[in-house]
Structure 1
C-alpha cells in the first residue's frame, strides 16, 4: 500500500492513456568478491608458491625414501661399468668409477636438504636473538653491530672456505661454517625491524605501564618480526644449498666419499665435454630445489605483506 500523498503507481499504470516508465537496474560497478578457502584457495591465490611446495615435497620424499626408489649403494665401485650413458639399467648413467649416478643424486638430496634447512633454522634463531637484543638495548647496539658489519664485509663463500680450512670436512662443519656466514644478515634485518617497532605507541604504552624489557620484547616486538624473518629464512635455505655445493665442488665441503650434488659435479667436470650427463643431473636437481625454495619465499612474502597482495 502506498503511503499517504504518494501517487498510486499500480492505478496509474492501469488507467488508459497513462504510461509509467520504470528506471532500469543500476549496473554493478564492482564485481562480486569470490572467497576461496582451503587448499584450493591457497593454490589459486599463490600458484607459484604451490608449485614450489610440491617440488620441495617431492625432493623430501625422494631423500627419505631413497633406499626403496630402485637405488643401489651410491658408493659401490664397478670399474668395468664406468662412464655408461643413461639407459634402462642406469637411468642417469655411471661415473668414471662405475658408480650409479641416479643413486648418488637421490642420496645427495639428503645432504643438500639437511644443510639448507639446518642453516636456515640455526641462522634465523641466532640472528633473531642478536637482532632483538641489539635493536632494543641501545647500549649493546654499537658493539654488536660493528662485529656484524665486520663479518658482512667478507663474502659468505670466502668466510665459509676460511672456516672450513680450520676443520675437517663433514656435514656438521659445513652447516656451522655457512651458519656463521649467514647470521649477520639475519641480525641486521631483525635489528632494522626492531628499531621501527620500538617507536610505536603501543611500545610506549607498555613502557609506561611498567612492563619489563624482556616482557616487551616477548609480547610486542618478537611477534612482529616473524613475518619478515620467515621470508628471509627461505632465501637463506636456498643460499646455503648453493654454498654447500660450491664448497664440495672446490673440495672444501663434505668428504669426497659422501654423495652430494657438489661432489658429483666436481668428479664429473673432467669429463664434461665427453660425458656431460655426469654433471647435468646433479646440477638439474640443485637448480630445481633452489628454485622451489625461492618460489616458496616469494609466496610467503606475498601472503604476509598486505602491500604485495594482488587481489582480495
Structure 2
C-alpha cells in the first residue's frame, strides 16, 4: 500500500507489509516442445508411429533384400548375421518381409481411418441435423453394426479378390457405422445450443449452419476416433491375411507372414514372433497417440499449469 493509503488509516492501525513471492511464477512453455512436454503420451505415441512410418518408407535402404526372393536351400534358418530375423520355409528373409510388411499395414490403417472418418462424418452430420433422414439412415447403420466388423469384412472379401485396395474397402465399410453414430451423437447435442437456434432464427440455410457451427465442433472427437479406427484396421487386416482372406501371399504383410509360420510355431517361433512384435508396437503407438489426443482435446481432462 502507498504512503497516502497508510496515512488515511485510523490511529493505532498499521497497514500490513506486502508479502513477497517465495516461489517465482511458473511460465508455461509454448510451442510444439511445450505441448509435447505437457502431453507425454502424444510424444511417445507420435514418435513410435513416426518411426514405423520411416521404416516403411525407407525399407529399401535399411539393409533389406528382395522380400519375394526364394532360396529353398536356405529355408528355416535361425536368426544370424546373414538373416537378422531368420528365414521362412521358402528361404525368404524375414527381416526384409517384416519391414516391407509395414507398408501394407500402415497403408491399410491410414487409408481406412481417412475414408471411414470422411464418409462417417458426412452420414453423421446429415443424420444428426436432419430429423427426417435420421430414422432411415440410423436403422441402416444399426443393421450393419449388428454384424461383427471382422465377419462383415470377411464376407465382403469373399465377394472380391485379395488385394490391398479391396481390404481397405472391406474394412472401411465395416467401420463407417461406428463413426457415423459418434458424429450423430455430437450433432444431436450441438443442434440444441443457443447459437444454432440463433442461426436458424436469422434465416441461415441448413448447409451453412452445419459447415459453420456444427462441423468444427465434431473434428476433435472425430480425430480421436480416427486413431482407434487406424489401430483396429491394422489388426483386422492382419486377421484377414492370417486366414487367407486378405492380401495375396506375394505381397508381404504381417498377417500372412504369421500365417506362413504358424505350422512351425513350436520349432521355429521366430517366424511368427517378429511380425507379431512389430504389429503390437504399431497398434500400441497408435492407441497411445489416440489417448493423448483425447486428453489434450477434452477441456475437462486437459492439464492446466
TM class, shorter-length = over 0.9
Q: State the 1:23 CA deviation.
A: 5.1
Root-mean-square deviation (CA), in Å? 2.0
Give the Cα–Cα distance (whole angstroms) in 1 for the partners of residues 120 and 16 of structure 2: 68
Match of 2:163 in 1: 170
Give the Cα–Cα distance (whole angstroms) in 2 for the partners of residues 92 and 49 of structure 1: 30
Match of 2:25 in 1: 32
Equivalent of 1:51, from 16, 24, 44?
Answer: 44
Give the Cα–Cα distance (whole angstroms) in 2 for the partners of residues 4 and 217 of structure 1: 57
Give the Cα–Cα distance (whole angstroms) in 1 for the partners of residues 201 and 186 of structure 2: 22
Q: State the 1:31 CA deviation.
A: 7.8
Q: Is 2:7 aligned against 1:6?
A: yes
Match of 1:282 in 2: 275
Q: State the 1:3 CA deviation.
A: 4.3
Match of 1:101 in 2: 94
Give the Cα–Cα distance (whole angstroms) in 2 for the partners of residues 234 and 23 of structure 1: 55
Give the Cα–Cα distance (whole angstroms) in 2 for the partners of residues 266 and 4 of structure 1: 84
Query: What secondary structure, in the 3-state scheme, does the structure 2 residue paired with 1:211 have?
Result: coil
Q: Is 2:291 aligned against 1:298?
A: yes
Match of 2:104 in 1: 111
Give the Cα–Cα distance (whole angstroms) in 2 for the partners of residues 50 and 225 of structure 1: 24
Match of 2:206 in 1: 213
Whether contact under 8 Å (2:296, 2:303) holds in the other structure is: no
Structure 1 portions without partners, runs of 5+: 8-19
Structure 1 residues 272 and 209 mapped into 2: Cα distance closer, same or farther (>3 Å)? same
Structure 1 residues 258 and 211 mapped into 2: Cα distance closer, same or farther (>3 Å)? same
Match of 1:12 in 2: none
Match of 1:69 in 2: 62
TM-score, reference length from structure 2: 0.94
Equivalent of 2:82, from 78, 89, 97?
Answer: 89
Match of 2:152 in 1: 159
Q: State the 1:37 CA deviation.
A: 1.4
Q: State the 1:309 CA deviation.
A: 1.4
Structure of greater Rg: 1
- Cα deviation, 1:96-141, whole Å, max 9, x if unaligned, reads 1100000000000000000000000000000000000001110010
TM-score, reference length from structure 1: 0.92
Q: Is 2:179 aligned against 1:186?
A: yes
Give the Cα–Cα distance (whole angstroms) in 1 for the partners of residues 277 and 6 of structure 2: 82
Give the ranges of 4+ consecutive aligned residues of structure 1 lying more than 4 Å apart after TM superposition.
1-5, 20-24
Give the Cα–Cα distance (whole angstroms) in 2 for the partners of residues 149 and 21 of structure 1: 71
Q: How many residues align?
A: 299
Match of 1:228 in 2: 221
Give the Cα–Cα distance (whole angstroms) in 2 for the partners of residues 31 and 104 of structure 1: 55
Q: State the 1:5 CA deviation.
A: 9.1
Query: What secondary structure, in the 3-state scheme, does the structure 2 residue paired with 1:307 have?
Result: coil
